[in-house]
């Protein structure tokens, strides 16, 4: 039998449709005879007396109606509510056709026959397709390899994904989990609905391997609570994307994805202010330095959404520039890719003048703390001197707005990377104090999830390899934000600047890195190894890296801070040096770099950057 089913299932689609049509043409007249036999209580009955070749009419007319309503074009293995509606309409049309024949006295048809025929016809069409679907799925399903899944959320999305999972070869839905008390103990789509606490005890009994969060409109704070409620269960947690991403209205197995790590932070995004997003972008020529980096590339993606006249991508990495340029080619915005270094002021000025750039977002910088610690010359040259030359080029060419993207590591830094960034801030602040035509602003924020310097990609890779997951210190704590949110806030902060402003992005609550690692391990369906040596993936503490701090800060002076018109952007008033003084300092820095004078270079940083101290060691 299975061989026949496999043979029929392997036929081309057109031949499958012919098989169904032939089957229905044969069965429909039999159904008509059956309802007459039941109505008149005898098998030896004249069907549609007075209407010659009635069986041809019944078979051909029925198949024709089904064809016009797309019954045969539907995929039998995935018939749904739409199929049911079409089938209902087709059945109704045939009932009306029978009553029309009776009204015109073309044949003898008792009043109850059309309704009886419609009922049996609908039942046959539905059950015949259900049997075909069941037999096909039973034949081809690989049940031994299907993951057993509990679906959290018995709403529309949950019901749709349950139906999709039933048809898939990879997942087997076992039960629903829902918070609504009135649903507990009931069944939906053949699956029982459990309360979350009760479900926790059933996961092992039912051998559940994954929990699928099917509540796309739930807030991040609530989603975090749901995830944490299953922390002790050895199951992997997956989810469906948000409602804005499920634009098709039908949930599919391909929509299932891993839980976004930002949901562990329980922070809901704040809607951006359109007027701030557009102020320095719409109908203007915009340039992004470091356009191929994590922040730079996201800035570019956000910028093209707000209709700039032209976007200039300035990047020193050929591959990074190629990648973001190719991604933006279909944005509808003219994009100009430029290979170059921000330390080349002459080229910067030529590009700004050639394209008449009005807004510059300066994202170019080295960001990996240990690498810059081992290579201070390159770090300071690219970050400090590169920023100075970039802002000088912008001022010399009359750019309207220059926004420096800074980091929390610039606050009381313990590393060269943070100190070099603070020197870049000091130069911009000093230059802004001279009241140039260019409005200069600084935006400072912490770690972004998914950037090239983030721990998240590293942890994912280590978990996929079975561990160990490496954390530098049990107490190391960081602030986190998504790249898109950071980019949007940078654009909005830059639009609020009046000159020399230092804006701070509200990063939410700090997160212990070891807690983040444990949560990521649990989300992957594993247990972190505990103090008794029990668990699946070990967390190893490797010690703080050169220049690394336990805690990061956003403020140098805690007192001089004020709120802005945006609830997640603060404005800080910090001490800085006059342009004359800071420009002389930068001349000394250039001399130290050119003459390879490491002690002198680091002593300059220690003198001008609050709380920066250095220990001389072997450096390049």
Residues 233 and 286 placed together within one structural domain of the fold: no
Residues 159 and 119 placed together within one structural domain of the fold: no
* Total number of residues shown for the chain: 620
* In-domain check, residue 268: no
Checking if the pLDDT of 259 tops 50, the result is: yes
Checking if the pLDDT of 190 tops 90, the result is: no
Residue 36 or 133, more confident: 36
* In-domain check, residue 232: yes
Q: What is the rounded average pLDDT of the residues 181-194? A: 87
Residues 6+ positions from 238 with CB-CB distance below 8 Å: 210, 211, 212, 213, 256, 257, 258, 259
Question: Among the three residues 125, 140, 155, which one is the final residue of a domain in this structure?
Answer: 140
pTM of this prediction? 0.65
Rounded-to-integer distance, Cα 296 and Cα 170, Å: 39
* In-domain check, residue 540: no
* In-domain check, residue 458: no
Q: What is the pLDDT of residue 13?
A: 67
* In-domain check, residue 502: yes
Residues 189 and 328 placed together within one structural domain of the fold: no
The 10s digit of each residue's pLDDT in 529-540 is 887 888 888 999
Residues 324 and 437 placed together within one structural domain of the fold: yes
Q: What is the pLDDT of residue 556?
A: 47
Checking if the pLDDT of 565 tops 90, the result is: no
- 209: nearest Cα among 224, 240, 223, 230: 230
* CATH number of 335's domain: 3.40.50.720
* In-domain check, residue 468: no
Residues 292 and 429 placed together within one structural domain of the fold: yes
Residues 211 and 293 placed together within one structural domain of the fold: no
Residue listed under structure tokens 């402003």: 501
The 10s digit of each residue's pLDDT in 133-182 is 777 766 665 545 678 889 998 888 888 888 888 777 778 888 999 988 88
Residues 420 and 302 placed together within one structural domain of the fold: yes
Catalytic residue among 409, 518, 549, 571: 409
Q: What is the pLDDT of residue 282?
A: 93
Residues 6+ positions from 172 with CB-CB distance below 8 Å: 143, 146, 147, 148, 149, 165
Q: What is the pLDDT of residue 424?
A: 93
Confidence of residue 434 (pLDDT cuts 50, 70, 90): very high
Residue 493 or 269, more confident: 493
Residues 6+ positions from 68 with CB-CB distance below 8 Å: none
DSSP 49: B
Our answer to whether residue 409 is catalytic in this structure is yes
Checking if the pLDDT of 553 tops 70, the result is: no
Q: What is the pLDDT of residue 356?
A: 96
Residues 25 and 153 placed together within one structural domain of the fold: no
Q: What is the rounded average pLDDT of the residues 359-364? A: 95
Q: What is the pLDDT of residue 265?
A: 65
Q: What is the pLDDT of residue 246?
A: 45
Residues 136 and 171 placed together within one structural domain of the fold: no
Domain containing 253: what range?
A: 143-259
The 10s digit of each residue's pLDDT in 64-79 is 988 888 887 766 655 6
Residues 135 and 88 placed together within one structural domain of the fold: yes
Q: What is the pLDDT of residue 229?
A: 82
Checking if the pLDDT of 233 tops 60, the result is: yes
| Ranges 83-97, 154-168, 264-278, most confident | 83-97
Question: Among the three residues 140, 173, 203, which one is the final residue of a domain in this structure?
Answer: 140
Residues 97 and 153 placed together within one structural domain of the fold: no
**What does pLDDT average to over the chain?**
83
Structure tokens belonging to residue 434: 């001279």
* In-domain check, residue 183: yes
Residue 301 or 201, more confident: 301
| 3-state SS assignment for residue 193 | strand
Q: What is the rounded average pLDDT of the residues 384-389? A: 95
Q: What is the pLDDT of residue 551?
A: 66
* In-domain check, residue 267: no
Q: Rounded to 5 degrees, what angle do the CA atoms 306, 569, 357 make? A: 40
- 117: nearest Cα among 89, 92, 84, 85: 92
Residues 217 and 255 placed together within one structural domain of the fold: yes
Q: Lowest-confidence range among 70-84, 90-104, 362-376, 576-590?
A: 70-84
Residues 6+ positions from 595 with CB-CB distance below 8 Å: none
The total of structural domains in the chain comes to: 3
The 10s digit of each residue's pLDDT in 285-304 is 999 999 998 889 999 999 99
């Amino acid at each position: 039998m299975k061989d026949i089913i496999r043979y029929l299932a392997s036929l081309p689609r057109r031949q499958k449709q012919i098989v169904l049509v032939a089957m229905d043409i044969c069965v429909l007249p039999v159904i008509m005879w059956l309802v007459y036999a039941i109505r008149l209580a005898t098998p030896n009955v004249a069907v549609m007396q007075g209407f010659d070749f009635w069986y041809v009419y019944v078979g051909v007319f029925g198949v024709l109606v089904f064809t016009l309503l797309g019954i045969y074009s539907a995929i039998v293995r995935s018939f749904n509510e739409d199929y049911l509606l079409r089938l209902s309409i087709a059945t109704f049309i045939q009932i009306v056709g029978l009553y029309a024949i009776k009204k015109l006295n073309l044949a003898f048809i008792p009043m109850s026959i059309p309704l009886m025929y419609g009922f049996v016809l609908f039942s046959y069409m539905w059950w015949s397709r259900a049997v075909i679907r069941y037999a096909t799925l039973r034949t081809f399903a690989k049940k031994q390899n299907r993951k057993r899944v509990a679906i959290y959320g018995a709403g529309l999305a949950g019901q749709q994904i349950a139906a999709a999972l039933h048809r898939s070869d990879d997942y087997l839905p076992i039960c629903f989990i829902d918070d609504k008390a009135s649903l507990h103990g009931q069944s939906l789509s053949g699956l029982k609905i459990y309360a979350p606490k009760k479900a926790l005890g059933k996961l092992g009994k039912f051998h559940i391997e994954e929990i699928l969060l099917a509540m796309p409109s739930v807030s991040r704070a609530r989603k975090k609570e749901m995830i944490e409620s299953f922390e002790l269960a050895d199951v992997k947690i997956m989810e469906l994307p948000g409602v804005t991403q499920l634009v098709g209205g039908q949930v599919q197995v391909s929509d299932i994805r891993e839980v976004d790590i930002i949901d562990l932070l329980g922070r809901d995004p704040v809607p951006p202010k359109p007027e701030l997003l557009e102020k320095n972008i719409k109908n203007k020529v915009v340039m992004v330095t470091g356009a191929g980096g994590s922040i730079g590339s996201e800035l570019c993606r956000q910028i093209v959404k707000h209709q700039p006249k032209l976007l200039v991508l300035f990047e020193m990495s050929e591959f990074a520039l190629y990648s973001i340029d190719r991604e933006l080619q279909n944005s509808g915005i003219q994009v100009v890719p430029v290979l170059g270094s921000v330390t080349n002021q002459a080229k910067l000025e030529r590009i700004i003048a050639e394209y008449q750039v009005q807004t510059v977002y300066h994202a170019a910088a080295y960001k990996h703390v240990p690498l810059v610690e081992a290579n201070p010359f390159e770090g300071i040259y690219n970050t400090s001197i590169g920023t100075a030359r970039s802002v000088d080029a912008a001022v010399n060419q009359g750019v309207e707005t220059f926004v420096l993207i800074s980091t929390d590591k610039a606050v009381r830094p313990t590393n060269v990377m943070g100190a070099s960034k603070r020197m870049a801030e000091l130069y911009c602040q000093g230059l802004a104090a001279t009241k140039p035509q260019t409005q200069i602003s600084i935006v400072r924020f912490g770690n972004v999830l998914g950037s090239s310097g983030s721990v998240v990609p590293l942890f994912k890779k280590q978990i996929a390899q079975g561990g160990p997951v490496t954390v530098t210190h049990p107490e190391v704590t960081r602030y986190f934000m998504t790249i898109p949110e950071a980019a949007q806030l940078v654009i909005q902060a830059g639009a609020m600047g009046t000159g020399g402003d230092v804006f701070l992005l509200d990063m939410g609550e700090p997160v212990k890195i070891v807690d983040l690692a444990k949560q990521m391990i649990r989300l992957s369906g594993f247990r972190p190894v505990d103090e008794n040596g029990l668990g699946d993936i070990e967390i190893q503490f490797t010690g703080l890296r050169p220049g690394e701090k336990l805690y990061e800060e956003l403020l140098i002076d805690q007192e001089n801070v004020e709120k802005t018109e945006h609830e997640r952007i603060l404005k800080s008033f910090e001490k800085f040096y006059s342009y004359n003084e800071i420009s002389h300092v930068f001349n000394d820095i250039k001399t130290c770099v050119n003459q390879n004078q490491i002690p002198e270079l680091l002593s300059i940083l220690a003198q001008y950057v609050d709380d920066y101290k250095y220990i001389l060691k072997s450096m390049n």
